[in-house]
Structure 1
Amino acid sequence: MQVLSADDVRRLVPMRAAIDAVRDAFRELAAGNFVLPPRQIFGDGAVLVMSAYHTPTGTAVVKKIGIDLDTVPAIRATVIWTGGGDQLVADGTSITTLRTGAVVGVATDLLAPADASRLTLVGTGAQAPDQVRAVLAVRPIADVTIVGRSADRATALARQLSAEFPEVRFTPSSTLGDPHIVCCATSTTTPLFDADELPSQVHVNAIGAFRPSMRELPRNLFIGSTVVVDQREAALEESGEVIDAIDSGTLRVEDLIELGPALSEPPVRTGRTVFKSVGIGPQDWAIAAALARAQVQRSTPLR
């Protein structure tokens, strides 16, 4: 059994490799190559158990997540991957932030303008840095505006990311600015902004709301927008903003485009595009499988 730390995860699967792995996993999902049981939810979302089985390879992943939004980090997780008699146990917290960033990279690469250069990040928590890393991996971003409830945390995150990406300008702010791309990574239960605050052409990623009671996006953002979700069934069960928009008649179920099929048949984009993710098992499988391959290729000693 191989046991991998958070540092191992980052060393073995950099963001660009994670994006490629997650993109391939969504194509596999669209092809019907995953058995994907519903996510088990305990204690009103305090504990989650996710799993996925990849039928062509006979490999599987199980992730247990503990969530406490009043602690730092808010998410603590463990991932177990099995295949061919081998078993890998890895830090699930780092895998979760990495694969969540990676799916945003996949969606941004599909939906955002190729020349997008301005990103606004709303949120300064554990998920935030990988949102930026993912978008920078697929678009020529020159300016990043960071918006958070705490000006000090926004400033600290700007300094951290500036050291990592010295060619990019990072600016803490209390407003969205004039973005080409917006990434939302918060635990809010009320929308972060009104659609009127956004340009008429913009791509929005939202990954923070994973319970029906949570909402990052305003209802009116869905009007006339192209809306892509990681999986329709998961979004209808867990995404507070999607549930609210459908219940209000703002959005129809048939308007939801799943990411996997969209990779083969890209949707006709309107002025605004939205990607909503609640996270599904194939994303974790993608990173865990990439870790397993990297271990074999690099012959990394067991820890």
Structure 2
Amino acid sequence: MRYLSAKDIQQTFTMSDAIKADKEALSLYSSGRADIPLRTNIDIPEHNGQSLYMPGYMSGASPALGIKLVSVYPDNIAKHLPSVPATMVTLDAKTGIVNAILDGTYLTQLRTGAVQGAATDLLAKKNAKAALLIGTGGQGMAQLEAMLTVRHLTIVYVSDLDKKRAQDFCDEAKAKFGYTFKTKFQVVDFADDVVPFVDIITTVTTSRRPTFNGSLVKPGAHINGVGAYTPEMAELPAEALVKADRIIFDTMDGVLAEAGDMIQPLKRGIIDKDKFNGELGQVINGRIDGRTEEDQITVFKTVGTAALDVIVADRIVKAAEKEGIGAVLD
């Protein structure tokens, strides 16, 4: 059995690798080759905690099997411990034997950034040059890297409620990506100041209200809604959904059950389900169209699925085994 830390994963698997793996996962999911049971949630009231279990199996030429364990313990912060620790366990699908344990926190950041990268690659204009990133929390850097990986961006504007955090984020991005990508990173006080000019908007927050003015979105823009994952959260503005020509999800069932971005405007009658075009995996499989015109506004919404964790983790493990990376536990 192999143990892979975040550093091991970074050494083994690039963002480009993860985007490719996420496309594979969504293709399999939309083809009916995914067995993803409902998440099991166990409350731990004595310690103000919750333990979550997300298993999955993906069939196909290279099957993958695994389970991600995530705990939510808000009081851990006072103990100088992670409040949302995560661990991924993979099994050999042919034997059922556990073959690896991975840092689940970094895996989640990687596969979540990559699924946005996959959507941006498939839906955004090929000549996109300017982007806006809203939210610089734990998911922010992977979201930025994914956009940079699939498009030659000249500038990325960064917006966050905490201006100092936004500036620190830009400084870190310059240090991390400055030599690889010829992109300028610039803090903006108000996201709406640049919304009319950008080609890509990625919002990754848990906000309960829209993070930008949807009426300002220009023709041809692509929008990614990444952060909101409960019916109460709604970072995407309904106006943007009304204006959109194509609205694509990672998983139809997941988004319509969990994403307030879609649930709330549906309940208010602002949009109806006919507005939703389908899943990104269906675009990959050629079953539905993505962007067909340069001036179309496209929207991608993700809430995540264990299918992404299982495939990405399995592909990481296979690469690590080939390269001899990680600690082998006998």
Give your verdict on TM over 0.5.
yes
The whole-number CA distance in structure 2 between the counterparts of 1:290 and 1:145 is 33
The whole-number CA distance in structure 2 between the counterparts of 1:273 and 1:17 is 24
* 1:232-247 superposed matches below 5 A: 232-247=252-267
Residue 168 of structure 2: aligned partner: 156
Matched position secondary structure for 2:263: helix
* 1:100-119 superposed matches below 5 A: 100-119=112-131
107-116 or 27-36: which moved more?
27-36
Deviation at 1:8, TM superposition (A): 1.1
The whole-number CA distance in structure 2 between the counterparts of 1:154 and 1:112 is 24
1:51 to 55, 70, 76: 55
Deviations 1:6-61 (CA, angstroms, capped at 9, x unpaired): 11111111101000111111111122211111233456995432221023345312
220-229 or 154-163: which moved more?
220-229
Equivalent position amino acid for 1:192 in 2: T
Change (3 A) 1:68 1:249: farther
In the comparison of the two structures, how many residue pairs are matched? 303
Q: Is the 8 A contact 2:122 2:290 kept in 1?
A: no
Residue 23 of structure 2 corresponds to residue 23 of structure 1: yes
* 1:4-43 superposed matches below 5 A: 4-41=4-41
* 1:195-214 superposed matches below 5 A: 195-214=214-233
Residue 254 of structure 2 corresponds to residue 230 of structure 1: no
Superposition RMSD on alpha carbons, in Å? 2.2
Residue 97 of structure 1: aligned partner: 109
Deviation at 1:4, TM superposition (A): 1.2
What is the TM-score when the length of structure 1 is the normalising length? 0.93
Larger radius of gyration: 2
246-255 or 88-97: which moved more?
246-255
Residue 235 of structure 2: aligned partner: 216
The whole-number CA distance in structure 2 between the counterparts of 1:45 and 1:206 is 27
Q: Which stretches of structure 1, 4 residues or more, deviate above 6 A after TM superposition?
A: none
Change (3 A) 1:6 1:146: same
Deviation at 1:268, TM superposition (A): 4.7
Q: Is the 8 A contact 2:2 2:99 kept in 1?
A: yes
The whole-number CA distance in structure 1 between the counterparts of 2:6 and 2:176 is 18
Matched position secondary structure for 1:295: helix
Matched position secondary structure for 1:223: helix
Residue 258 of structure 1: aligned partner: 279
Deviations 1:248-279 (CA, angstroms, capped at 9, x unpaired): 22232343211111113333556211111000
Residue 185 of structure 1: aligned partner: 204
Change (3 A) 1:137 1:301: closer
Q: Which runs of 5+ in 2 are unaligned?
A: none
